[in-house]
């Protein structure tokens, strides 16, 4: 079943010997044998299969250093101090961790279900029939089938190839595709010279073939060097901001813990109680639920986007999706129906000619290297009797030649037929067929070009058809010379219904559309007029090639249509737009779109795309429809807005309360709250915030792109943190002035702290007055429940456990007045803040 040592240089072994050594056949494995091998070799993945269940995920909730220290201190107090308090601390930490576990578990399961919807499959031969299986289930000994756009799922040996060209840049750095053929090479040959082998991570550019899987997963060439070779997925702006925010709070927390502990010890307070107090404050200051809240928000947003037929592969890309202000799109299938129809088939005079259609039909029927809608349109337009015809050979389509050539045996003649872009067909022709017979191409070339331009100006796509008779039964690219021009194939791809309104909707969302097409300038101009870009500047691929990078950066924002663009120029356009300060989305599904999908801030593909495009994308549309994208953008912005709400909440009331408590503890002769009371406060105030993923979002936060801004958040934290602290100290002063006992002080302060924090959530969640913006059902219910539980707690038996007392009613009246004043002040502060501070 294995190659043992010889597998290290399988390119030096003939394909027939490899088949024997792998104990397989040219007809592939059986499903039963493949299942056995899957158990032996494992899944075909570079990631080690983690079988960590719920228990491991739960344990990871305790990985915070502060939480671990607090648990250690609680264990110490269990034996030396107060076992009841220690147990209470254990229970509260357990409940907080359980909350985080539930959130992350829910998020993880959601993501798995979404990714399963867009699984990449591989065509293979098993049980002597062709079938599609997930790429991770490929095993050594499988026979896979290759075509243009295929992603190579494992290290393989070539069994059959026909003009098979593979892009190996990910391994070798070589820009140009490499032709792959059957044979053997030296065991010492570098990767770039192993022309009989295919390697995981590379992709088929053109041609077709069949290959034997030799190595899978981490045993592949890509797996062996993946730690060095694979670049980390670049952090999004949002991820960087969250990390900076986390570091900032950790620094504040560390300084605070050390200072509070040291000062309390200096004042001769019990060491263990001082340590627990300082650590409890740290737990309150540290946004422990931030990772879980972000995961839940993003996964919840991804689930909602899935209902809009938008599948998110990389959750962190949702932020960029919401921030996107430019969308680069091709024409066919996105702006148009993508269902190409034959408009006419003309000879050199511009008159319909059945021979033109027949030769185009022969080319389309026998072409196998490149699946495309044009050939499908030709095949269904009219069917011809091919009983006297047979295919001899083929030169597949590639993006340099932009044509397909087949060799057909027809009535004992061997006829070479080429079909492709007119301007790529004409240079191969030395003659043209007319009513008067075969003439020199120069006599009609001007007329051909004129007809081409007239048709293009109408928005029609024009292909050229040429032929020549030869004696050979095999053809190559070099044979595409001295052809006879036969005529035009005129194609029509109508605009999608409502596309003009869709583009307007994108514009209303602050997203500008940039059309990038390989069609000629005239067709592109016609399209622009139809979709509302009539006065747009057009830049062609030829003009682009002569622009320096600096000149392109200066012009790119003013260009709406890029025409006659070569595939390798798309990435350059995307990079220029990014460098010019835009958040760029790129939608593509083609073989050569992978670099652009990687380069874009948001790579968008469709479920029907070729493997290499779908794997490169961050987001996959289940329908190739910009309407789907519009709804997806809205959901992305709602998700981003809800994620930022938690950050705002964590930096306002919660932060202010804990900071104030730390400050006042330096002046009081007692701790303002006991450690267990602080942890209970933290747990209760976290509960409403866990529902933020389901909150409603104001329309103004959806109507235009918003980007992460750490400076904005810091200003928010400073202003609202100071406001929170002001009312905290007002509460402290009031309680001391009215002569509250220690237990009354703690109880009143606990009530004020939790209730105000819950109400402030309703204030900071919106930029409007809070009574004008309806919160989500779950947020509202959880807020009411927490406030009710908090107010009832001093009336229950739990008051003794947490050392609360029932304060006089007039105490509660004072606390209520302070809370009302705080909420009103927060509303005024919010209005001032959003008016003065630029986002």
* The pLDDT of residue 166 is above 90: no
| Farthest-apart Cα atoms in the chain, separation | 115
pLDDT band at residue 125 under the 50/70/90 scheme:
very high
Tell me the per-residue pLDDT of 215-237, one tens digit each, with 9 for 90 and over: 998 888 877 765 443 444 555 66
- Minimum mean pLDDT range among 139-153, 468-482, 649-663, 721-735: 649-663
Mean pLDDT computed over 563-591: 86
pLDDT band at residue 597 under the 50/70/90 scheme:
confident
Tell me the per-residue pLDDT of 50-59, one tens digit each, with 9 for 90 and over: 545 566 666 6
Mean pLDDT computed over 630-646: 83
Q: What is the mean pLDDT of the chain?
A: 82
Tell me the per-residue pLDDT of 278-333, one tens digit each, with 9 for 90 and over: 766 666 666 556 666 777 777 777 778 877 778 887 777 777 788 889 999 887 77
The upper half-sphere exposure of residue 8, i.e. CA atoms within 13 Å in the direction of its Cβ, equals 3
By C-alpha distance, which of 740, 747, 688, 726 is closest to 822? 726
| Residue 145 pLDDT | 92
DSSP letter assigned to residue 609: S
By C-alpha distance, which of 384, 10, 387, 36 is closest to 189? 10
Q: Which of the pair, 747 or 207, is modelled with greater confidence? A: 747
CA distance linking residue 403 with residue 372, whole number of Å = 12
- Minimum mean pLDDT range among 44-53, 215-224, 726-735, 798-807: 44-53
| Cβ contact 611:149 at 8 Å | yes
- Distances in Å between the alpha carbon of 299 and those of 302, 527, 546, 765, 776? 5, 38, 45, 20, 17
- Distances in Å between the alpha carbon of 24 and those of 20, 39, 214, 503? 6, 17, 11, 54
Helix (H, G, I), strand (E, B) or coil at 560: strand
pLDDT band at residue 149 under the 50/70/90 scheme:
confident
- Minimum mean pLDDT range among 3-7, 126-130, 223-227, 311-315: 3-7
pLDDT band at residue 6 under the 50/70/90 scheme:
very low
pLDDT band at residue 175 under the 50/70/90 scheme:
low
* The pLDDT of residue 128 is above 60: yes
717-741: string of b/e by CB count within 10 Å (b at 16+)?
Answer: bebbbebbbebbeebbebbeeeebe
CATH superfamily of 245-289+645-836: Calcium-transporting ATPase, transmembrane domain (1.20.1110.10)
CA distance linking residue 14 with residue 12, whole number of Å = 7
DSSP letter assigned to residue 236: P
| Residue 229 pLDDT | 39
pLDDT band at residue 361 under the 50/70/90 scheme:
very high
| Residue 497 pLDDT | 82
pLDDT band at residue 275 under the 50/70/90 scheme:
confident
Taking the CB of residue 412, how many other CB atoms lie within 10 A of it? 6
* The pLDDT of residue 429 is above 90: yes
CA distance linking residue 566 with residue 64, whole number of Å = 51
Q: What CATH code is assigned to 341-492? A: 3.40.1110.10
Kindly report, as residue ranges, where domains of CATH 1.20.1110.10 are found in the chain: 245-289+645-836
For residue 40, what are its two tokens? 């032996």
Kindly report, as residue ranges, where domains of CATH 3.40.1110.10 are found in the chain: 341-492
Cβ-Cβ contacts under 8 Å for 277 (sequence gap 6 or more): 260, 264, 665, 671, 674, 675, 678
| Residue 203 pLDDT | 83
Cβ-Cβ contacts under 8 Å for 685 (sequence gap 6 or more): 653, 654, 753, 754, 757, 758, 786
* The pLDDT of residue 111 is above 70: no
| Cβ contact 672:664 at 8 Å | yes
Q: What CATH code is assigned to 4-44+138-229? A: 2.70.150.10
Mean pLDDT computed over 100-104: 61
Mean pLDDT computed over 724-734: 89
- Minimum mean pLDDT range among 232-236, 434-438, 460-464, 667-671: 232-236
Phi, psi of 465 (to 5 degrees): -120, 130
| Residue 340 pLDDT | 84
Catalytic residues: 330
pTM above 0.75? no
Burial class (CB in 10 A: 0-12, 13-18, 19+), 838: exposed
| Residue 162 pLDDT | 81
| Residue 61 pLDDT | 61
Kindly report, as residue ranges, where domains of CATH 3.40.50.1000 are found in the chain: 310-337+496-622
CA distance linking residue 143 with residue 34, whole number of Å = 11
* The pLDDT of residue 479 is above 90: yes
* The pLDDT of residue 120 is above 50: yes
Taking the CB of residue 505, how many other CB atoms lie within 10 A of it? 18
pLDDT band at residue 474 under the 50/70/90 scheme:
very high
Kindly report, as residue ranges, where domains of CATH 2.70.150.10 are found in the chain: 4-44+138-229
Helix (H, G, I), strand (E, B) or coil at 654: helix
Mean pLDDT computed over 672-695: 81
- Distances in Å between the alpha carbon of 370 and those of 120, 143, 206, 396, 587? 19, 21, 7, 7, 20
Q: What CATH code is assigned to 310-337+496-622? A: 3.40.50.1000
Mean pLDDT computed over 491-519: 88
| Residue 573 pLDDT | 93
CA distance linking residue 97 with residue 101, whole number of Å = 6
């Amino acid at each position: 079943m294995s190659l043992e040592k010889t597998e290290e240089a399988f390119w030096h072994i003939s394909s027939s010997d490899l088949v024997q050594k792998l104990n397989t056949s040219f007809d592939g494995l059986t499903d039963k044998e493949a299942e056995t091998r899957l158990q032996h070799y494992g899944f075909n993945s570079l990631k080690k299969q983690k079988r960590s269940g719920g228990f491991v995920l739960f344990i990871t909730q305790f990985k915070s250093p502060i939480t671990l220290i607090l648990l250690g201190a609680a264990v110490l107090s269990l034996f030396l101090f107060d076992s009841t308090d220690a147990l209470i601390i254990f229970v509260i930490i357990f409940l907080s961790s359980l909350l985080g576990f539930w959130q992350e578990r829910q998020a993880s399961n959601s993501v798995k279900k979404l990714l399963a919807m867009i699984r990449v499959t591989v065509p293979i031969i098993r049980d002597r029939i062709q079938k599609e299986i997930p790429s991770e289930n490929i095993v050594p000994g499988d026979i896979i089938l290759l075509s243009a756009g295929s992603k190579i799922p494992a290290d393989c040996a070539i069994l059959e190839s026909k003009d098979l060209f593979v892009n190996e840049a990910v391994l070798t750095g070589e820009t140009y595709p490499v032709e792959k053929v059957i044979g053997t090479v030296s065991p010492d040959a570098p990767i770039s010279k192993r022309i009989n082998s295919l390697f995981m991570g590379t992709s088929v550019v053109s041609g077709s073939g069949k290959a034997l899987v030799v190595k899978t997963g981490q045993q592949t060439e890509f797996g062996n060097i993946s730690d060095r070779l694979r670049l980390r997925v670049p952090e999004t702006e949002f991820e960087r901001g969250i990390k900076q925010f986390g570091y900032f709070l950790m620094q504040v927390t560390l300084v605070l813990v050390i200072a509070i502990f040291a000062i309390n010890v200096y004042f001769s307070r019990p060491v263990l109680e001082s340590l627990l107090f300082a650590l409890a404050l740290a737990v309150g200051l540290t946004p422990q639920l931030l990772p879980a809240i972000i995961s839940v928000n993003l996964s919840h947003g991804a689930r909602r986007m899935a209902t809009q037929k938008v599948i998110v592969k990389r959750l962190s890309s949702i932020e960029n999706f919401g921030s996107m202000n430019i969308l680069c799109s091709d024409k066919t299938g996105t702006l148009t129906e993508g269902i190409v129809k034959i408009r006419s088939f003309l000879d050199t005079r511009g008159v319909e000619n059945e021979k033109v259609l027949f030769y185009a039909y022969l080319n389309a029927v026998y072409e196998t290297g490149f699946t495309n809608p044009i050939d499908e349109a030709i095949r269904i337009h009219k069917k011809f009797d091919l009983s006297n015809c047979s295919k001899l050979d083929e030169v597949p389509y590639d993006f340099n030649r932009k044509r397909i050539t087949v060799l057909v045996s027809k009535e004992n003649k061997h006829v070479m037929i080429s079909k492709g872009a007119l301007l790529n067909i004409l240079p191969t022709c030395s003659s043209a067929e007319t009513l008067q017979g075969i003439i020199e191409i120069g006599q009609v070339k001007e007329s051909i070009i004129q007809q081409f331009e007239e048709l293009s100006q109408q928005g029609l796509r024009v292909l050229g058809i040429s032929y020549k008779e030869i004696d050979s039964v095999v053809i190559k690219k070099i044979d595409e010379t001295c052809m006879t021009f036969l005529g035009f194939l005129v194609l029509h791809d109508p605009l999608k219904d409502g596309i003009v309104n869709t583009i307007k909707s994108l514009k209303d969302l602050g997203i500008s559309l940039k059309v990038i097409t390989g069609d000629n300038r005239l067709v592109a101009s016609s399209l622009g007029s139809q979709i509302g870009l009539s006065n747009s500047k057009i830049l062609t691929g030829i003009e682009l090639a002569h622009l320096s990078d600096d000149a392109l950066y200066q012009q790119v924002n003013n260009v709406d249509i890029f025409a006659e663009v070569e595939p390798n120029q798309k990435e350059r356009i995307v990079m220029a737009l990014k460098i010019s300060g835009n958040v760029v989305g790129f939608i593509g599904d083609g073989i050569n779109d992978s670099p652009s999908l990687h380069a874009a801030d948001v790579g968008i593909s469709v479920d029907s795309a070729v493997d290499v495009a779908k794997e490169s994308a961050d987001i996959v549309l289940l329908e190739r429809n910009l309407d789907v994208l519009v709804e997806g953008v809205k959901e992305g912005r709602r998700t981003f807005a809800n994620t930022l709400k938690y950050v705002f909440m964590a930096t306002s009331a919660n932060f202010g309360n804990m900071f104030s408590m730390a400050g006042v503890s330096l002046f009081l002769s007692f701790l303002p709250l006991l450690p267990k009371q602080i942890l209970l406060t933290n747990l209760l105030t976290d509960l409403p915030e866990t529902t933020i993923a389901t909150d409603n979002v104001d329309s103004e936060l959806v109507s235009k792109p918003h980007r992460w801004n750490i400076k904005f958040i810091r200003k928010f934290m400073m202003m609202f943190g100071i406001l929170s602290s002001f009312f905290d100290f007002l509460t402290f002063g009031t309680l001391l002035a009215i002569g509250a006992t220690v237990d009354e002080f703690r109880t009143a302060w606990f009530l004020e702290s939790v209730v105000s924090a819950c109400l402030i959530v309703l204030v900071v969640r919106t930029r409007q007055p809070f009574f004008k913006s309806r919160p989500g059902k779950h947020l509202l219910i959880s807020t009411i429940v927490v406030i009710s539980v908090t107010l009832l707690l001093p009336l229950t038996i739990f008051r003794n456990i947490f050392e609360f007392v029932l304060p006089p009613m007039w105490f509660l009246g004072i606390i209520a007045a302070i809370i009302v004043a705080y909420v009103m002040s927060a509303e005024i502060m919010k209005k001032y803040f959003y008016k003065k501070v630029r986002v």
